[in-house]
Amino acid sequence: MPLEIHRCKEHDIPEFVRIQMGAFAGGGGMTKILMPNPTPPDYAEKLIEKNLKSMRKEKDVVYLKVIDTDILNGKMIAAAKWRINKKERTEEEVRKTLPVPGPDEEGKPAVQDFWNFLARVRWEYMGTKPFFFLHILVTDPEHYRRGAGAMLIRWGTEQADEARLPCFLEATQMGKPLYLREKFEPKHDEHWDLSKYGLQGTDTSTIMIRPASTLA
């Protein structure tokens, strides 16, 4: 099979961010609103620095990539960021990881509302408990439906099963069917009125949890 999964190294992060930005821009709904339009010249660089900081400083974080070995130099076609906490944490440790709107989010109500939502549900559903958390999962739009996303999910869920721990994620409407196939269960739907942010229609974010394995 030409697809292989590997851990990301620091030099992979710019390509990780390129795929992330492309996937978010084409995601529609709240995902698209969260991407600035037009994109500031330094936006990608800030995302790269943010992810590098996370990779270097946060010991519970694992960055992964799927490469296509049939493409010259093994092109990255999908990527993920897992947070793995196998032990109970303190409230202080958890609060440090929750998103908090800062100066860059001033005047951006969609981003502020979404970040506040993420902080609320992560605390409500995971809190200080041990969890595997699929923080980011993105696929290059040119390589959808090749199984790369499922590979990145199973990397974490197989380890979670061995550890007898649940997995948590926040799903877009586009990603939800894949997560359902991977045995994640919907726990909460957050409904968004996009007219509040200058667009038409609605969107839904779904909190999903894959229960801890009970197999002996």
Give residue 89's pLDDT: 96
Give residue 216's pLDDT: 53
Contact 62, 2 (CB under 8 A): no
Domain ranges of the chain: 3-210
- Is the per-residue pLDDT at 1 higher than 60? no
Give residue 199's pLDDT: 86
- Is the per-residue pLDDT at 198 higher than 60? yes
- The single residue listed with the structure tokens 């037009």 is 38
Q: Which has the closest alpha carbon to 1: 175, 150, 207, 142?
A: 150
- The single residue listed with the structure tokens 């800062």 is 102
Give residue 177's pLDDT: 97
Contact 99, 118 (CB under 8 A): yes
Q: Which has the closest alpha carbon to 182: 155, 163, 203?
A: 155
Q: What single string gives the DSSP state of each residue in the chain?
A: --EEEEE--GGGHHHHHHHHHHHHHTS-HHHHHHS-SSPPTTHHHHHHHHHHHHHHH-TTEEEEEEEETTSTT-EEEEEEEEEEE-S---HHHHHHHS----GGGTT-HHHHHHHHHHHHHHHHHTTTS-EEEEEEEEE-GGGTTSSHHHHHHHHHHHHHHHHT--EEEEE-TTTHHHHHHTT-EEEEEEEEEGGGGT--SEEEEEEEEEPPP---
pLDDT in tens, 119-165: 999 999 999 999 999 999 999 988 988 899 999 999 999 999 999 99
Assigned CATH topology for domain 3-210: Aminopeptidase (3.40.630)
Neighbours of 110 (CB within 10 A): 18
Q: Return the H-helix or E-strand segment holding 145.
A: none
Q: Choose between 82 and 27: higher pLDDT.
A: 82
Task: Please state the pTM of the whole predicted model.
Answer: 0.93
